[in-house]
A and B are shown apart, each in its own frame.
Chain A
Amino acid sequence: MANDTRSHARPGSSFIDPLVLGRIDNLALLARTVVEGFIGGLHRSPYRGLSVDFAEHRPYVLGDDIRMIDWRVFGRTDRFYIKQFEADSNANFTVLLDVSRSMGFAQSGLSKLDYARYLAACLLYFARKQRDRVGFLSFNDDVVDYVPPAAKHLDLILHTIDGLQPSGASALEKPLWKLAEAAQRRGIMVLISDLYEDPTTVLESIQRLGYKGNDVLVFHVLDRAEIEFPFEESANYVDMESGESLPVVPDRLRERYRELVAEHIGALRNNLGQRRIDYALFDTSQPLDHALFSYLSMRHQLTRTR
């Protein structure tokens, strides 16, 4: 997918699969119709704002700004109606992308980092379509690239994403702390990582962002091999981040490994859920649009129940 689209003129545009965008676009239209658009589904805006997109008319009530009265309607009906427009949220939508070496793991052809790139690009694209200010942060155990949120930074961000390479070891605490310190305005922050850290550490790191009033979403990206551990060959398994090796007989520990991974995912899901932080697990073997669709469906359901 990536190779098919990297020849496009605009950097980063290769990450946006037209098919993915087509399906996601429909879903976004649905969300926007219901609430405030795709990103609006993520941060429900209770406000009608100034916008160029007409929303509806409603009768004038005391206290309404008389500048909002639609005088043409008054001329035809001799009644006061207030003209309402779709409000621009103007929120900061920031993607936090883990670029540590472990994200370079690829078992099914598409590395986690590539998958995360596509995912980030899609999200940023939609955010920008919703007129959010888009920002981007790549990190390993520290900040690698940071593009502050801005309305016109999409191209820059896509270009930055296009040039990312896996490097370093992963550690959430420091880069997220730096981001929390730097962010002056609350917004939506989407963390995309394989989260090879203790769930408690992950939660503590993410919570710093939440304390600033940010709405945090955690996209946990894993390869299927990391979940199911299908290896059969006895081999020395080398940690891609630390370089440590360990001789392993997969047959003997596969079940235990799966249990440990399931426990880890469960712990993340529970811990983050208790803090009202959305968590979604993405398997790189699944189609990207399917993953987004599933997540947005889940997000929509969560929105209704909240």
Chain B
Amino acid sequence: MGLSFLVPAFLAGFAAIAIPIWVHLRNRAKTDTIDFPSLMFLERVPYRSVQRQQLRHRLLFAARCAAMLLLALAFARPFFGGVDLAGAVSGGDREIVILLDRSWSMGYEDRWERALEAAAAEAGSMVAGDRASLVLFDDTAEVATESTADGAVLMDALRTAELGVSTTRIVAGLRAASRLLAASSLPSREVVLISDFQRIGWGEDDDVDLPEGTVMRPVNLSDAPAHNIGVASVGLQRQRSTADASNDTVVVTARLTRQGGETVREVTAELRVDGIVQQSLTVDLPANGAATVAFDPLTGGAPAVRGTVSVEHDGLPGDDEFHFVSSPTQVLSVLLVQNATASESDSLYVERALRVGSRPPFSLERASLPDLQSADLDRHDLVVLNDVGSMGTELEAALHDYVSGGSGVLVAMAELSSAAPSGWLPFGAGGEADRSRDLGATLAYVDSDHPVFEVFRSADSADLAAARFYRYRLLDPVPDTGVLARYDDGSPALVEVRVGEGRVLVWTSSLDTFWTDLPLQPVFLPLLHEAAKYAAGYRESDVWLPAGRGLSMAELGRAAGGGRAAESLENVGVVSDTGAQVERLAGGRVRLNPGFHSVSWSGGDGSVAVNLDRAEADLAAIDAEELAAAVVWGAGGEVDSNVPQQATGAEIEGRQSLWWYLLVAAALLLVAETILSNRLSPRAGARAGKVHDSPVS
């Protein structure tokens, strides 16, 4: 236990000792001069009286100096720190970076309070010459206090620190610490990592380079085992009514998770819609397990409803509620255009495939090329040109305008698409490729990162290569960009063309079984759905958005039901229903807190639900020592396990209460000084003798 100071800057007050020194020196010459008729008798007094006189003045002087010193000490807020030897052990002044985890999982029971106390203890352990920074981190790091030797600054920053709404990403804090330490010239560098050390907070690829010789001191606040019950997710299962879209229903399902070593019975899950309790269900949650509850269907028609599934509050309140917004079912309107000479069977597979769509449901309208009018295009979100051949200049121009306005077109080039340049696409139909002799071509390449093929990316998805393409149309000229899929000879199978704000997907084979057996393959249905949704620019409304992450205007608009128009939104008004301030970020992004928010934009409005990222609810922890060792291993540093004992608030206050005693002592000294000074003052002297110019000093 050594003496440290919260505000060492006040030690500069020691210089005030110069005041009594100056006063005593300045007034020494005229100190206590009393005219006396004769020293004839006084001179016969022993010499020790002179020494006594000096001693008494020294007492007064000492009282004044001591009062000054005590006042300076009191304002410097001395206290007995717990790691006072750290500086000596590490061999000199320290640059300390206090990393304080503020992810929302730190709200588990009293972790946040303990974290603040631990940080305060670290700040209080600073000795003269030490400097410290405070970094708050969750998935990003914020330097709350740059390097300072003033413990009070750190304490102020700690007092204003608040729990965040993001997930833990320890590497973010460590990288900030690395930058701060690298900028320091002090001989010793330390990182104090105060966290619950969640397993999800450290990724396998996370890496950080700390300066050479950095000492890592982890402060692990995780409790083993942790007990928690939360709502992990909410699903909305739409059931479409064939008669009236307004009669669509939505089944809300919620997945409840239990973290802890024993089964919890009769956990109540409650569904509230627009603030009104709709239903409560009870379920038994096994140890470290999960259960799903399904609430009675809700009406899914317009307008959007706000719902919340909640369980009783426990140690981690952040995951006890899950908010969602159920928007009305959005139907994608499709115009299926075919050549006048085509039969109904030519579009049979396309029509059947689109009609079974539920997410979104497709509204299908058929049209023949000679009868197609330009005005027919604008009533639909997507136009499917199923091997229509040449359309004529006027219709091509109308299509160009239609697509440029943000709509989509899916073009299938097959037998009727004769070799001719296109007037509205950068390429036209070329010759045919006949692969019937070699059992047909296969799709040898697909852009799996493209939204159209994203659903096929997983290993257990249907095999696109199973489809055979006996004939396909070549493109002239061959596009070198926008090719999403190729046949095994390298010819483009699916090409994306951007026209203005819209998209055109060109399929170089038929959508029936005449040129390919793709419509007979399981992949046909999802492939057609995905292609249609992508070409139409359809994005399903998010039922909720993550908290603490920067959200773009488009994300907000889309989540609020803005549909395709949301993609181009630049200015969206956001108001939290709780009245909390919405944090605006650079680049027009916003960061939202959990709850419901009203969103408005030019031409529409809606609501969004924001939830904490449930990944953070996993309280499983990693070994803090192990993590610290891994972090400092490359830097040749070390791990200091002698973490200061976490003091309670009362203990911290108790350690810092020394300044009260110093103040009292200083006050007593000043009172004594006043009394002594008054006794020796000129007035007092005047009562006993004639004194000239003899202020007491």
Q: Which of A231, A252, A257 contacts B34 (CB 8 A)?
A: A231
Give bound CA distance, A234 to B45, whole Å.
Answer: 14
Please give, as numbers and ranges, the residues of chain A lying within 8 Å of B32 by CB-CB distance: 233-236, 247
- A222 and chain B: residue at smallest CB distance: B37
Interchain CB contact under 8 A, A236 and B31: yes
Total A residues in contact with B, Cβ cutoff 8 Å: 38
Given contacts A225-B689, A232-B679, A234-B52, contact A253 B45 (CB under 8 A): yes
Given contacts A225-B689, A246-B42, A248-B42, contact A234 B37 (CB under 8 A): no
Interchain CB contact under 8 A, A249 and B35: no
- B38 and chain A: residue at smallest CB distance: A196
B54 close to A (CB within 8 Å): yes
Q: Which of B34, B53, B685, B694 contacts A249 (CB 8 A)?
A: B53
B586 close to A (CB within 8 Å): no
A105 close to B (CB within 8 Å): yes
Interchain CB contact under 8 A, B34 and A238: yes
B99 close to A (CB within 8 Å): no
Q: How far is the CB of B684 from chain A (nearest CB, A)?
A: 6
Counting contact residues on chain B (CB < 8 A from A), the size range is 20 to 34
Interchain CB contact under 8 A, A231 and B50: no
Q: Which of A112, A234, A239, A247 contacts B36 (CB 8 A)?
A: A239
Contact code string B191-212 (vs A, CB < 8 Å = 1, else 0): 0000000000000000000000
Please give, as numbers and ranges, the residues of chain A lying within 8 Å of B12 by CB-CB distance: none
Give bound CA distance, A107 to B679, whole Å.
Answer: 18
Please give, as numbers and ranges, the residues of chain B lying within 8 Å of A196 by CB-CB distance: 37-38, 40
- B40 and chain A: residue at smallest CB distance: A196
Interface residues of B in 1-59 (CB under 8 A from A): 31-46, 48-50, 52-54, 56-57
Please give, as numbers and ranges, the residues of chain A lying within 8 Å of B170 by CB-CB distance: none
Contact code string B253-279 (vs A, CB < 8 Å = 1, else 0): 000000000000000000000000000
Interchain CB contact under 8 A, B688 and A233: yes
Q: How far is the CB of A103 from chain B (nearest CB, A)?
A: 8
Contact code string A227-267 (vs B, CB < 8 Å = 1, else 0): 00011111111111110111111101100110011001000
- A245 and chain B: residue at smallest CB distance: B33
Q: How far is the CB of A249 from chain B (nearest CB, A)?
A: 4
Interchain CB contact under 8 A, A246 and B43: yes
Contact code string A120-137 (vs B, CB < 8 Å = 1, else 0): 000000000000000000
Q: Which of A102, A253, A256, A257 contacts B37 (CB 8 A)?
A: A102
Interchain CB contact under 8 A, A105 and B35: yes
Interchain CB contact under 8 A, A231 and B689: yes
- B685 and chain A: residue at smallest CB distance: A233
Q: How far is the CB of B202 from chain A (nearest CB, A)?
A: 73
Give bound CA distance, A250 to B685, whole Å.
Answer: 11
Give bound CA distance, A173 to B39, whole Å.
Answer: 20
B366 close to A (CB within 8 Å): no
Give bound CA distance, A257 to B37, whole Å.
Answer: 14
Interchain CB contact under 8 A, B41 and A235: no
Please give, as numbers and ranges, the residues of chain A lying within 8 Å of B50 by CB-CB distance: 246-248
- A253 and chain B: residue at smallest CB distance: B45
Please give, as numbers and ranges, the residues of chain A lying within 8 Å of B33 by CB-CB distance: 235-236, 238, 245
Given contacts A232-B679, A252-B52, contact A106 B690 (CB under 8 A): yes
Please give, as numbers and ranges, the residues of chain B lying within 8 Å of A239 by CB-CB distance: 36-39
Q: Which residues of A contact B (CB under 8 A)?
A: 102-103, 105-107, 112, 194, 196, 223, 225-226, 230-242, 244-250, 252-253, 256-257, 260-261, 264
Contacts A231-B685, A232-B685, A253-B42 supplied; 4 other A-B pairs, CB < 8 Å? A231-B688, A234-B57, A241-B38, A247-B53
Q: Which residues of B contact A (CB under 8 A)?
A: 31-46, 48-50, 52-54, 56-57, 679-680, 684-685, 688-691, 694
Mind listing 22 A-B residue pairs with CB under 8 Å? A105-B35, A105-B690, A196-B40, A231-B34, A232-B679, A233-B679, A233-B691, A234-B32, A235-B32, A235-B34, A235-B685, A236-B31, A237-B34, A237-B35, A237-B36, A238-B36, A248-B53, A249-B52, A253-B46, A256-B44, A257-B41, A261-B41
